[in-house]
């Protein structure tokens, strides 16, 4: 999966009062695009020394480390001095071979959006500021503290003997299928979420719910929690025709287009196919 970048090392530990060094990585986003440096056919995350105009007054936020090198979010537009530097739409992460770059790019994107969405206090409306001692935002007027929001969501591979249920979401390209997924609601366990989401989206009752593993998914600020479950394929599939437009049972060796194993959905489908 995309966050599994060994032998590269990602560390999200917050560092207090860290200044940008010449060799530190800088991430700058222009709406949904990230500034990258091209070296031949490969991309790199720029370092401070690669760009001009970054000074002590440049707006920046410490993010995390990659291979023990600090990564900073740069708020001000850096000066681009040559054609080595390009803005790539953030979905480049799906195709790039350098998974470590893909991973820090989308985690940085999540944090950039979170900081941008919390410039003002949701309680009193005052302008907020970043806390100095932890990754959080504080309102200097009412002292409300906001931490990055992580939303738990289930994703479930439903099987019946040698078949798996795959569904077409209304937002998918044609002939593209994946697993049933959905956010946990207030007051319910993850297992209850599995039961409810499957019933709501495709009308099936499931049993033998078993935890698989989890994956952080920065685009939606989610923690995807994977389960396997079983269902009787004599039940009638009833797509909700809002989120899910169609769903069907598929046999091994005859699966439609589906996610790759950069996502937990793709890994779970591959596990079904190969077991």
Average pLDDT over residues 151-155: 97
Sketch the domain layout of the chain as residue ranges: 10-116, 118-148, 151-274
pLDDT digit string (tens) for 253-264? Answer: 999 999 999 999
177, 168 contact by CB (below 8 A): yes
Map residue 121 onto helix, strand or coil.
coil
- Per the listing, tokens 């993010």 go with 63
Model confidence at 18: pLDDT above 80: no
Task: Tell me the backbone φ, ψ of residue 245, rounded to 5 degrees.
Answer: -95, -25
Residue 212 CB neighbour total at 10 angstroms: 16
Average pLDDT over residues 114-118: 96
Half-sphere exposure of 162 (CA within 13 A, CB side): 5
| Cα 81 from Cα 37, distance rounded (Å) | 11
55, 48 contact by CB (below 8 A): no
Average pLDDT over residues 219-243: 95
pLDDT of residue 80: 76
Average pLDDT over residues 133-155: 96
Model confidence at 275: pLDDT above 90: no
pLDDT band at 131 (very low <50, low <70, confident <90, very high): very high
Model confidence at 17: pLDDT above 80: no
pLDDT band at 164 (very low <50, low <70, confident <90, very high): very high
pLDDT of residue 230: 98
Going by their DSSP bridges, the two strands 29-30 and 33-39 should be labelled as: antiparallel
pLDDT of residue 68: 96
pLDDT of residue 40: 81
pLDDT band at 186 (very low <50, low <70, confident <90, very high): very high
In the chain, which ranges are continuous DSSP H helix? 99-117, 190-202, 264-274
C-alpha separations of 162 from 94, 165, 194, 235 in Å: 29, 10, 21, 16
pLDDT digit string (tens) for 30-73? Answer: 999 999 998 888 899 999 998 888 877 788 999 999 999 999 99
pLDDT band at 214 (very low <50, low <70, confident <90, very high): very high
Task: Tell me the backbone φ, ψ of residue 100, rounded to 5 degrees.
Answer: -65, -35
Model confidence at 81: pLDDT above 80: no
Burial class (CB in 10 A: 0-12, 13-18, 19+), 218: buried
- Concatenate the DSSP letters of all residues of 151-174 into one string: EEEEEEEEEETTEEEEEEETTSPT
| Cα 180 from Cα 203, distance rounded (Å) | 11
192, 174 contact by CB (below 8 A): no
Q: What is the mean pLDDT of the chain?
A: 94
Task: Tell me the backbone φ, ψ of residue 145, rounded to 5 degrees.
Answer: -115, 135
The reply to whether omega before 7 is within 30° of 0 (cis) is yes
pLDDT of residue 257: 95
CATH number corresponding to 151-274: 3.90.79.10
Stretch among 104-113, 166-175, 201-210 having the lowest mean pLDDT: 166-175
pLDDT of residue 27: 96
pLDDT of residue 77: 85
| Cα 253 from Cα 196, distance rounded (Å) | 29
pLDDT of residue 169: 94
């Amino acid at each position: 999966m995309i966050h599994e970048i060994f032998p590269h090392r990602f560390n999200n530990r917050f560092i207090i009062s860290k200044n940008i060094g010449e060799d530190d990585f800088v991430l700058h986003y222009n709406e949904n695009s990230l500034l990258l440096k091209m070296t031949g056919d490969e991309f790199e995350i720029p370092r401070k020394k690669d760009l001009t105009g970054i000074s002590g007054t440049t707006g920046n936020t410490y993010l995390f480390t990659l291979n023990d090198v600090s990564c900073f979010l740069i708020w001000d537009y850096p000066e681009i001095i040559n054609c080595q530097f390009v803005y790539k739409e953030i979905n480049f992460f799906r195709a790039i071979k350098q998974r470590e770059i893909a991973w820090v790019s989308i985690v940085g994107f999540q944090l950039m959006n979170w900081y941008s969405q919390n410039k003002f206090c949701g309680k009193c409306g005052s302008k907020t500021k970043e806390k100095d001692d932890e990754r959080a935002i504080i309102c200097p007027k009412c002292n409300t503290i906001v931490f990055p929001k992580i939303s738990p969501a289930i994703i479930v591979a439903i099987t019946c003997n040698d078949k798996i249920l795959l569904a077409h979401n209304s937002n998918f390209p044609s002939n593209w299928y994946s697993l049933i997924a959905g956010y946990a609601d207030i007051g319910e366990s993850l297992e209850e979420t599995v039961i409810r989401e499957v019933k709501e989206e495709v009308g099936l009752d499931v049993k033998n719910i078993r935890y698989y593993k989890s994956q952080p998914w920065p685009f939606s600020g989610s923690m995807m929690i994977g389960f396997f479950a079983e269902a009787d394929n004599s039940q009638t599939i009833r797509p909700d025709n809002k989120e899910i437009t169609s769903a069907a049972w598929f046999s091994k060796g005859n699966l439609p287009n589906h996610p790759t194993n950069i996502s937990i959905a793709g890994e779970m489908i591959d596990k079904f196919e190969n077991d």
